[in-house]
Structures are given as C-alpha cells and as structure tokens.
C-alpha cells in the first residue's frame, strides 16, 4: 500500500494535471561562471559548517526574478476569477526523502542571503532524511524547483505543485561543445532547464522573459550579487 506521503503526493499530482493547463519552456544554462563562483565561496561556507551546492544560487536568482515578475508569485482562485499576490517568496524544492517525494519550502527568500538559504536547505534536507520535516516547512510555498539532474536526468517536464503557478526542473551538468563569439568551438558546462507554467494566467512570452532574466542572473552571477541587499 501507499504511504500517507505517497497518497498525498498522488492526490496533489492528479489535482494539478486535471486542473492546470500546463505548458513548458526549455532552455540551457551555461554554468561555468557559477561553477567558478561556487568554488571561490566553498571554503567560506565550510567555515560555517555548510556544504555549498548550486541550489541556493538558483533559489536566490529565482527570488530576484519574482520581484520583477510578481505574477509568478501568486495564486489563482478556485473559480479562476481572481489572483492573490504574495509578498513573501516561499520557494519550494523537491526532496527525495525516506517517506517519499516532499516539496518543502524556504520562507521569505527575498530577505535571505545565499548563505542563509544554504543553511535552511541543509536543515530541511537533514530533517527529511530523518523523516521529521515539519508541517510549516511543507505549507505556504509559492513556486518550486525540481533538481532531477542531481540523479542524472537531462530534461524533464515538471508538474506544477498546485496551487502554485510555475515550476522549473534542472537537468544534470554536461560538458558540451559550443561556439564562442569568434565562432571557435569551446567546451562549456551546460545545464538544461525546463519550466512548466499555468497557461491560464502566464503566457508564453512572459514565461520566456522570466526565464531570460533568471538565466542572465545565473550566467552572470556578479550581476545577481549586485542586486543582493
């Protein structure tokens, strides 16, 4: 039989695909600048007993985008006639826990540093592995990230975490040949990213613009750092 967590997730997924008209936008992210930044910060985070991954950067960049595109940090009413916008960026991330798939969220990311996001993630992931994620960590999410690439997946079509309006799936990092500005072949670290959005309130052009800003922050991380408070 399904566990309670699996039953809840199954119900959530069925509700999402039967209620939300999904559409997907895919793109690629050149990771080399972010890899370099992560490497330069690794020792500093280790001093704080925090294992630094790429996810805190993805989450912080997403929060910066939500400030520019508040319609992604919102919820559509049950009857589809009204939108509720949220001030707080409560960004969820998928966790493969001992009890099954969970999507806890980090609260008020707009007010957090990359270090603070990493600390919150580490706490939540530790709790998930021990099967004791708090209900407060599972409630109130406004948008989500699924890092399927950590297990080896290249692309995915993510299902929106109802009643949120969008989700992004991250693929694995690959070394691929690309052309530079001088049309010379170079090796780059590339990640495929795939967004799913609620087509009732988010059109394709808006989704692409949102993605472009997000990718710009991540491929030019100094630009992202310049926006941090």
Q: CA angle, 122 as apex, 30 and 65 as ends, to 5°?
A: 45
Active site residues: 199, 203
Render 21-35 in DSSP notation, one character per residue: -EEEEEEEEE-HHHH
User: 84-88 — which CB contacts under 8 Å span 24+ positions?
Assistant: 86/142, 88/140, 88/142
CA-based torsion, 104, 109, 111, 112: positive or negative: positive
Judge whether 91 and 63 are in contact, CB under 8 Å: yes
The pair of three-digit structure tokens given for residue 158, joined into one six-digit string: 């993510």
CA atoms of 195 and 165, how far apart (whole Å) = 11
CA distances (Å), origin 77, targets 14, 81, 94: 18, 6, 24
Angle, alpha carbons 94-110-212 (nearest 5°): 70
Q: At what angle do helices 32-47 and 114-129 cross, to 10 degrees?
A: 80
């Amino acid at each position: 039989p399904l566990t309670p967590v699996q039953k809840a997730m199954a119900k959530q997924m069925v509700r999402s695909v039967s209620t939300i008209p999904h559409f997907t936008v895919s793109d690629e992210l050149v990771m080399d600048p972010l890899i370099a930044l992560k490497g330069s910060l690794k020792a500093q985070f280790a001093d704080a007993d925090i294992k630094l991954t790429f996810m805190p950067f993805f989450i912080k960049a997403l929060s910066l985008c939500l400030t520019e595109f508040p319609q992604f940090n919102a919820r559509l009413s049950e009857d589809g006639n009204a939108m509720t916008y949220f001030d707080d960026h409560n960004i969820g991330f998928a966790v493969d826990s001992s009890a099954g798939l969970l999507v806890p969220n980090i609260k008020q990311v707009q007010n957090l540093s990359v270090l603070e996001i990493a600390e919150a993630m580490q706490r939540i992931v530790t709790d998930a592995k021990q099967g004791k994620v708090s209900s407060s960590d599972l409630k109130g999410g406004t948008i989500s990230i699924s890092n399927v690439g950590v297990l080896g997946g290249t692309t995915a079509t993510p299902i929106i975490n109802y009643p949120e309006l969008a989700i992004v799936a991250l693929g694995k990092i690959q070394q691929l040949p690309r052309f530079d500005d001088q049309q010379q072949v170079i090796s780059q670290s590339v990640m495929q990213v795939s967004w799913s959005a609620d087509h009732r309130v988010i059109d394709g052009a808006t989704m692409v613009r949102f993605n472009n800003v997000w990718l710009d922050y991540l491929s030019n991380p100094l630009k992202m750092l310049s926006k941090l408070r």
